[in-house]
Amino acid sequence: MTEQGRELTDIGRDLPVRKVFEGEFVNDAAPAERPSWWRRFVNAWRRSPRVPLWAKDRVHAVQAAKDVVVAVLRSPFRFVGAVVRGLVVALRWWRSWVTVRDYREAAEQSEKLADKFGDIRALTLFRWKVTGAVAAVVPTVGLVLWVLYGPRSLWLAGLVVAVTLAVLGRRKDGSPGRRAVLAGPRTLTWTLDPQVLVDAFRDAKLIGKDETLRLVHRATRHGAGWAVTVDLPATRKAMDVVKNRDALASALAVDEIQLNVERVRGSGGHAGRVALWVADEDPYSAPPVRTPLLAVQRWDAWRPVPFGTDARGRRIDLPLVWTSVLIGAIPRQGKTMAERLAAAGLILDPHVRLYVADFKNGKDWKAAEQVAHRFMAGDDSEHVLRFVDWLVELVADVQARYRRMQELDDITCPESKVTPAMTRDITLGMPITALVVDEVQIPLEDRTPVEVQGKKLTAGEYCGELLMWLAKKAPAAGVILMLATQRPDGKTIPSGLRAVLGSRFALRVMDWRDSNIILGEQMNTRGYDSSRLLPSHKGVGILRPDGETQAGADVLALTVRTFYMPNEDWRTICAQGRALREQEGTLTGHAAGQATPPMVDRMAVAKAIGGGASASAERLTEVELPEPLRSVVDYLSGQDGRDFVPTAELVEALGVEPKSFGLDMAGFGCRPTRDRVLTEDGVKQVRGYDVVDILAAAERVRRGAVIDPEGPDDDR
């Protein structure tokens, strides 16, 4: 050992000794092998911005090959058309040249047309002579070429002339001799030329003149139409494209029913990514498709029920468990069939208990009598009172279910809601229960007086309170509400009830306000308005689901055409449902011949709904509001979740004079203010009233407070 090594050894002995831990290096693995040259080439090829998209992906390459084949097959016809257009352009140019139009227009602009008349006439005669000379020389030259070189020269000369005319007549902006004239009908050509798609967005004013689109997925065939996904420029939003779908459809020369616009959401999308799908023809003109439930023996209520198809032909299933459904439309638009489609899946599950109330009193629901635990058909007051007993029975049943859940262990009942195993266990008594009501506006508008806890109120108000309680608390206990109405207005269905109904389906209605009442506030400004549906599209409506559908979990709403289920198919499904219940031993109530009325505890139910009945009775004894405050409150009763209402909207809806209306509202203590609202032209600042101030003024009047014309007194 050298002298230097000894010194280092001596120094090491003086250092403190620390513990030594046994272990292994986590990163002590063999280094990864370097990718092969072929893999590096493939990665560089796919990531290179200079390589076109069709050369990176097999699907796009196949579509590009199809486009090339189509272009080759169409090229002879396009060439002939270009030659004809070029000939027309050449004739127009020659006519303008021989009539000295350029010289004449210059003289007119300089106001010297009379002085230049002689020169114009001389130049016109000269150009006619040149035309005659050319007309004589061209056949002579052709004859000489034919003599010297044979007919092949004439064919070659004709080809040169045809190519020249084709270039002159090409379809391109700024071509010589072209001018704006009345053209023929526009056709859908954007699927072959992405530039036309960009022009359509510009024409619809969805992007600026200097902005363009970024192609995410090129136009490909998807079903009976073309699909393409694009990214909008920065600061442009996809929801604006959805809202202005009509303008984009006009720019693309298609009917808006053929254009499907969706915002791409989730991990693969963002606020500026739009997916377009354009059908070749009206997707709802084909015959309707029969329900696929005819091909199954039984169904599981926990699975979404087959409800219909969207424009692309994708099957749309409707989730029913843990939610409630509202279906609205004008008469004869397929409302009852849509409700029967949703109920059909529940009928084919033998463990589901059905309450069916047909206030239309027709034959549409007659077949369900053989499977329903409770069944009723009629529109008299006695039927409404019987329906009230049903609701009271359901409220008591839901209360009992929650009490029994408290006694169950966490394995059987992990949360305060039913599970599939719980609903199929007969000993627990918690089956999935569906309350199906057709023409629900009849019981809600009934004025038959009833007495609850010593308070008198109408049967319609009591029904509204009970349905509202069930819609809020019953879904977690396994009770489903399915309500259908042909009167979708704010007075018929209370706003508090509509606010807690999760799934909405709006078929054709007469006004955008009715559509918003069914689908939700301001849905028309988002591009969803069922009043725009065509009368010929029976069974077509806008679905706002409460849950995931085949179109995606983040889809706000979509247009759906319901399956077709005539009466014979409906009877077949009901007969199959009865056979399943007899086999499982779950046939009860009306279907089993047990016509006993429901056992109800009205006192307990009245306490369960939180004094709602008492509050309804108190409203009957309130002082009637004076005009125009009463009309304003009635109008706002059909508006869900609004904090501000513009003055112009109230004036138009109530048909009052603006100045006197403002003075009257000021007399009630309602002062106008300014707020920003979403209109068809964008966000604007308008004058209006806060809804809280209007409701506070109404409460003061009801309580007999004195109204100061100068405004409300906060110390009063």
The residues pairing with 542 across neighbouring beta strands, listed in sequence order, are 506, 559
CA–centroid distance for 49 within its chain: 35
pLDDT (0 to 100) of residue 195: 76
Mean predicted confidence (pLDDT) in 465-493: 85
pLDDT digits (tens, 9 = 90+) for 160-176: 888 888 888 776 544 44
Lowest mean pLDDT among 203-212, 259-268, 695-704: 695-704
pLDDT digits (tens, 9 = 90+) for 274-287: 888 888 888 887 88
Task: Mention every residue, 6+ apart, whose C-beta is less than 8 A from residue 299.
Answer: 293, 305, 345, 346, 348, 349
Mean predicted confidence (pLDDT) in 643-669: 82
How far apart are alpha carbons 495 and 489 in whole angstroms?
9
How far apart are alpha carbons 316 and 560 in whole angstroms?
8
pLDDT (0 to 100) of residue 304: 92
Task: Mention every residue, 6+ apart, whose C-beta is less than 8 A from residue 631.
Answer: 654
According to the CATH classification, is domain 622-702 in 1.10.10? Answer: yes
Strand order in the sheet with 644-646: 644-646, 682-690, 673-679
Query: With 0-12 CB in 10 A as exposed, 13-18 as middle and 19+ as buried, what is 43?
Result: exposed
Q: Are 89 and 168 in contact (CB under 8 A)?
A: yes
Lowest mean pLDDT among 153-157, 472-476, 703-707: 703-707
Lowest mean pLDDT among 2-16, 102-116, 161-175, 556-570: 2-16
- Return the number of other C-beta atoms located less than 10 Å from residue 684's C-beta: 12
pLDDT (0 to 100) of residue 571: 93
Give yes or no for residue 539 having a pLDDT over 90.
no
Residue found by looking up tokens 């020249």 in the block? 164
Q: Which of 65-79, 535-549, 692-706 has the highest mean pLDDT?
A: 65-79
How far apart are alpha carbons 276 and 259 in whole angstroms?
7
Mean pLDDT, the chain, whole residue set: 79
**Position 621 confidence tier, pLDDT thresholds 50, 70, 90:** very low
Mean predicted confidence (pLDDT) in 536-564: 77
Half-sphere exposure of 140 (CA within 13 A, CB side): 6
HEC letters along 152-206? HHHHHHHHHHHHHHHHHCCCCCCCCCCCCCCCCCCCCCCCCCHHHHHHHHHHCCC
pLDDT (0 to 100) of residue 155: 84
Mean predicted confidence (pLDDT) in 248-275: 82
C-alpha separations of 245 from 137, 139, 543 in Å: 59, 57, 17
Q: What is the CATH number of domain 292-591?
A: 3.40.50.300
Nearest to 509 by CA among 555, 541, 462, 476: 541
Lowest mean pLDDT among 233-242, 259-268, 431-440: 259-268
**Position 31 confidence tier, pLDDT thresholds 50, 70, 90:** low
Lowest mean pLDDT among 382-391, 405-414, 540-549, 579-588: 540-549
pLDDT (0 to 100) of residue 568: 92
| Residue 541 backbone dihedrals phi, psi, to 5 degrees | -150, 175
Higher pLDDT, 437 or 32: 437
Work out whether strand 273-279 and strand 225-231 pair parallel, antiparallel, or are unpaired: antiparallel
Q: Would you call 263 helix, strand, or coil by DSSP? A: strand
Q: Are 369 and 591 in contact (CB under 8 A)?
A: yes
The residues pairing with 437 across neighbouring beta strands, listed in sequence order, are 357, 483
pLDDT (0 to 100) of residue 344: 93
**Position 482 confidence tier, pLDDT thresholds 50, 70, 90:** very high
CA–centroid distance for 716 within its chain: 48
Give yes or no for residue 183 having a pLDDT over 60.
no
How far apart are alpha carbons 494 and 497 in whole angstroms?
5
Mean predicted confidence (pLDDT) in 88-107: 78
Angle ∠(288,294,295) on CA atoms, nearest 5: 110
- Return the number of other C-beta atoms located less than 10 Å from residue 103's C-beta: 14
Q: Are 340 and 570 in contact (CB under 8 A)?
A: yes
Query: With 0-12 CB in 10 A as exposed, 13-18 as middle and 19+ as buried, what is 391?
Result: buried
How far apart are alpha carbons 623 and 698 in whole angstroms?
10
pLDDT (0 to 100) of residue 115: 64
How far apart are alpha carbons 488 and 514 in whole angstroms?
6
Mean predicted confidence (pLDDT) in 299-310: 91
Q: Are 392 and 469 in contact (CB under 8 A)?
A: no
pLDDT (0 to 100) of residue 699: 74
What six digits make up the tokens of 31?
């280094």
Lowest mean pLDDT among 22-36, 109-123, 409-423, 485-499: 22-36
How far apart are alpha carbons 556 and 569 in whole angstroms?
31
pLDDT (0 to 100) of residue 433: 94
Give the N- to C-terminal CA distance of the chain in Å, as an integer.
104
> What DSSP designation does 24 have?
-
Mean predicted confidence (pLDDT) in 653-679: 80
- Return the number of other C-beta atoms located less than 10 Å from residue 188's C-beta: 16
**Position 620 confidence tier, pLDDT thresholds 50, 70, 90:** very low
pLDDT (0 to 100) of residue 687: 85
Q: Provide the percentage of residues in the chain whose pLDDT is more than 90.
A: 15
**Position 112 confidence tier, pLDDT thresholds 50, 70, 90:** low
Give yes or no for residue 509 having a pLDDT over 60.
yes
Q: Provide the percentage of residues in the chain whose pLDDT is more than 70.
A: 80
**Position 356 confidence tier, pLDDT thresholds 50, 70, 90:** very high
Query: With 0-12 CB in 10 A as exposed, 13-18 as middle and 19+ as buried, what is 73?
Result: exposed
**Position 74 confidence tier, pLDDT thresholds 50, 70, 90:** confident
Give yes or no for residue 578 having a pLDDT over 90.
yes
Give yes or no for residue 223 having a pLDDT over 80.
no
Residue found by looking up tokens 């009591």 in the block? 462
The residues pairing with 541 across neighbouring beta strands, listed in sequence order, are 560
Task: Mention every residue, 6+ apart, whose C-beta is less than 8 A from residue 658.
Answer: 647, 651
How far apart are alpha carbons 422 and 58 in whole angstroms?
49
Higher pLDDT, 235 or 607: 235
CA–centroid distance for 511 within its chain: 17
How far apart are alpha carbons 260 and 267 in whole angstroms?
21
Work out whether strand 540-544 and strand 558-562 pair parallel, antiparallel, or are unpaired: antiparallel
pLDDT (0 to 100) of residue 696: 78
Give yes or no for residue 182 having a pLDDT over 70.
no
Q: Where are the domains of the chain?
A: 58-168, 194-279, 292-591, 622-702
pLDDT (0 to 100) of residue 428: 87
Overall pTM surpassing 0.75 (yes/no)? no
Q: State in words which class domain 194-279 has.
A: alpha beta
Give yes or no for residue 545 having a pLDDT over 80.
yes
Lowest mean pLDDT among 212-216, 571-575, 592-596: 592-596
Mean predicted confidence (pLDDT) in 454-464: 84
What six digits make up the tokens of 596?
């006993």
**Identity of the amino acid at 390:** W
Nearest to 375 by CA among 593, 582, 569, 602: 593
Strand order in the sheet with 259-263: 214-221, 225-231, 273-279, 259-263
How far apart are alpha carbons 641 and 520 in whole angstroms?
9
**Identity of the amino acid at 164:** T
